[in-house]
Structure 1
Amino acid sequence: MTKPRIGIIIGSTRDSRFGEKPARWLLEVASRRDDIDVELVDLRDYDLPFFNEASSNAWQASQDPKVLAWQKKIGELDGYIFVTAEYNRSIPASLKNALDQAYVEWNYKPAAILGYGAVGGARAVEHLRSITVELYMVPVRSTVHISGTEFFTVWHGGGDQPITAIEGTIGQGTQEMLDQLSWWAEITKAGRAARAQKSA
């Protein structure tokens, strides 16, 4: 069986977003591993409209070509790492919309999260966990939080240092998160394949 394909999803689309910086660092770190293949998935590249389909694609096929392109990309992947800010105690609207624009493509796949902000995106992370559960995903236990002094060290509105400047704080947690994501990705990939074969 081929290695699981993992998408690192940048959850913010703002011009002044910070999320691309930790996402690219995470891509570099995860690319050193031999148990997963990783790629960046940037919501900016999909220009998704606000959800306006007749229903979730759990019940009825979507129609908008942009939505179908998004569903195709999500369906190609075996697991996800969401990189999210915290906006008013929740996730960015762009990320929530992207989650809502698919359903069956998310099912039975693991989800890991890197949150950032003054409190490490903790409240957004917990909200996102509950959303992934509703989408039949498997949220892994370990989460990476870039918070407090570390956040202001690397944030472009603060010290603007590279993420490597705080690896001593977040590096071990990142590897633990990736270990769990890889394990669940293997298990769920095999399970989906067995289910597809059984229903064929």
Structure 2
Amino acid sequence: MEPLLRLAVITGSTRPGRRATQVAEWVRERAAAHLRERAEVVVLDLADLDLPLLDEPLPAAIGDYRNPHTKNWARLVGSCDGFVFVTPEYNHSMPAALKNAIDFLFAEWNDKAAGFVSYGLNGGTRAVEHLRLTLAEVKVACVRSQVSLGLFTDFDLSDMAEPGTLTPAAHHDDILRRMLDELVDWSTALRPLRS
């Protein structure tokens, strides 16, 4: 019998006061319940990693990482079979910290699958479109379904300067489950390429 898949929910914002931790925990909780027999679900919070701007002297595709922070990040990503990227949309794209974290590595991303939960004024969809392009270059298969949370429809916000409270509309649960099922299917299908 194959071991359980290991899926990471990657918290893609490092900004103080971010909403990403609420969203990532919502995803983790629902994914753990929905996938309990099929996958282990963990959260990888970029803010905890404290990655600097890319400082490796050699291209990631060479795989000769020199810095302890890179080796740690490589170990974490390498231990996973698939990912759910939780990302806000900053100026029509993903946060710089998320792009930087992807750029640090290459082989550790290869032949894995990714799903997306985004949020923003327009649901964060443009951030995900940029993420899809970036992840294609590091050989990550992106699933079709994605959850797009609107700031004014899926968060209780009394002050835009505060994170507010995540209050996702009920239909997002169905979309999240569909995305997670696609992620498990693709992560499983790609497993022979990773071994």
Q: TM-score by structure 1 length? A: 0.90
Q: Report what 2:182 is aligned to.
A: 180
State the AA in 2 paired with 1:78. Answer: D
- Give how far 1:108 is off: 0.4
Which of the numbers 124, 129, 132 marks the counterpart of 1:126? Answer: 129
Segments of 5+ residues of structure 2 without an aligned counterpart are: none
Following superposition of structure 1 onto structure 2, how do residues 1-200 of structure 1 map, counting pairs within 5 Å? 1-32=2-33, 33=35, 34-147=37-150, 149-153=152-156, 157=160, 160-161=164-165, 163=166, 165-193=167-195
Local SS of the residue matching 2:105: coil
- Partner deviation per Cα, 1:14-38 (whole Å, 9 max, x = no partner): 1111000010011000011221110
- Partner deviation per Cα, 1:132-174 (whole Å, 9 max, x = no partner): 111100000001000153234368737934x4x4241311110
Contact kept in structure 1, 2:112 and 2:141, CA below 8 Å: yes
Q: Please state which structure has a larger fraction of its residues in helix.
A: 1
- Give how far 1:47 is off: 0.9
Q: 1:145 to 1:57 in 2, by over 3 A?
A: same
Q: 1:173 to 1:60 in 2, by over 3 A?
A: closer
CA distance in 2: counterparts of 1:68 and 1:15, whole angstroms: 25
State the AA in 2 paired with 1:50. Answer: L
Q: TM-score by structure 2 length? A: 0.92
CA distance in 2: counterparts of 1:4 and 1:96, whole angstroms: 25
Contact kept in structure 1, 2:86 and 2:118, CA below 8 Å: yes
Q: 1:8 to 1:140 in 2, by over 3 A?
A: same
CA distance in 1: counterparts of 2:187 and 2:157, whole angstroms: 30
CA distance in 2: counterparts of 1:63 and 1:159, whole angstroms: 37
- Give how far 1:49 is off: 1.2
> In the comparison of the two structures, how many residue pairs are matched?
191
Segments of 5+ residues of structure 1 without an aligned counterpart are: 194-200
State the AA in 1 paired with 2:82. Answer: G
- Give how far 1:191 is off: 2.8
Contact kept in structure 1, 2:18 and 2:163, CA below 8 Å: no
- Partner deviation per Cα, 1:112-142 (whole Å, 9 max, x = no partner): 1111011010111100011111110000000
Contact kept in structure 2, 1:85 and 1:116, CA below 8 Å: yes
Identity of paired residues, percent?
35
